[in-house]
Amino acid sequence: MDQTRPFPQASTPRGPAGSVGPVPADPARQRRHRAEPLTPAPRLLLFDLDDTLCDYTSARDQRLRRAFGPAARRLAGRGDPAPVLDRLVAASVAVHPHGADHFADLLREQGIDEPDLAEAAVDWYRINRFHGLTMFADAAATVAALRTAGGGPPRRVGVITNGPADVQRAKIELLAIERLVDFVVISGEFGVWKPDPAIFAEALRLGGATAADAVFVGDSVEHDMAGARAAGIRSVWVNPTGRPWPGPDAPPDREVADLSALLPLLEAAPAPAP
């Protein structure tokens, strides 16, 4: 299990092995949490990239902390800069979870009206785009094991990721994603973004599978779960913090706290070859 993700406190009762957090009282949620295999077993497995295979959020927060370090030390004076840094990072993510255009305004609001300091923060953040970015510890081994889980011919694996072509392509190279999967579809290259079903259809085409033969695994309710649903593909929601399903759409077919919890979901007999 990946140790970098936050999990519910150990003192809370846990659900079935591999499931998220406390035992859910809601019967629909209990069904979703079950480690019961998806039947028929998919022939094609599709993954989101950021915060599903790689730990984007932790890396982004580390990157913000480095970028805002000098400003936090200035604001803290002789005090501890850590709480100031926490505040700056939280404020920045609230304004824009990915960009840096707002840094100068944000620092000004916090009492630092020093353009050089803001510019240095923006530069550091942009230059060190992939600072601290790694795959989740269990991602590579789990994806490899998922190819053959449940027996039958090895299943194909693909990635569908939203983002600019240059950024996502560089990230895929850095993380050696293409050694792990059969194909990658990047929204910035393909021309439409998740949740548009067209990008899921492209992945099905590349994977040589129908929607009924595939399962999509991702963390985003809006992009991954909504998109898979629109494309008629079964879905597994990666939900490490155990947050409730927000609706209003019907919930995903399964919900897991981490990638290794996918393994028991793929232990059904594979569907007969078409």
Question: Minimal CA–CA distance to 262: which of 47, 50, 58, 54?
Answer: 47
Nearest approach, Cβ of residue 21 and Mg ion (Å): 20
Nearest approach, Cβ of residue 54 and Mg ion (Å): 9
Site size toward Mg ion, by CB under 5 A? 5
Nearer to Mg ion, 258 or 270 (CB): 258
Nearer to Mg ion, 19 or 168 (CB): 168
Tell me the residue type at 39. Answer: T
Tell me which residues in 19-48 interact with Mg ion (CB under 5 A): 48
Nearest approach, Cβ of residue 72 and Mg ion (Å): 28
Nearer to Mg ion, 51 or 213 (CB): 51
From the list 50, 55, 196, 202, which residue makes contact with Mg ion (rule: CB under 5 A)?
A: 50
Tell me which residues in 79-108 interact with Mg ion (CB under 5 A): none
Nearer to Mg ion, 51 or 255 (CB): 51
**Residues 89, 68 contacting (CB under 8 angstroms):** yes
What lies within 8 Å, CB to CB, of 136 at 6+ separation is 2, 4, 5, 53, 54, 55, 258, 259
User: Per-residue string for binding with Mg ion, 164-183, x by CB under 5 A?
Assistant: --------------------
Nearest approach, Cβ of residue 80 and Mg ion (Å): 33
The reply on whether position 55 binds Mg ion by CB under 5 A is: no
Tell me which residues in 211-270 interact with Mg ion (CB under 5 A): 219-220
Burial readout 154-166 (b: 16 or more C-beta within 10 A, e: otherwise): ebbbbbbbbbeee
From the list 24, 51, 156, 157, which residue makes contact with Mg ion (rule: CB under 5 A)?
A: 51
Query: What gap in Å lies between CA 254 and CA 264, rounded to an integer?
Result: 11
Chain residues binding Mg ion by CB under 5 A are 48, 50-51, 219-220
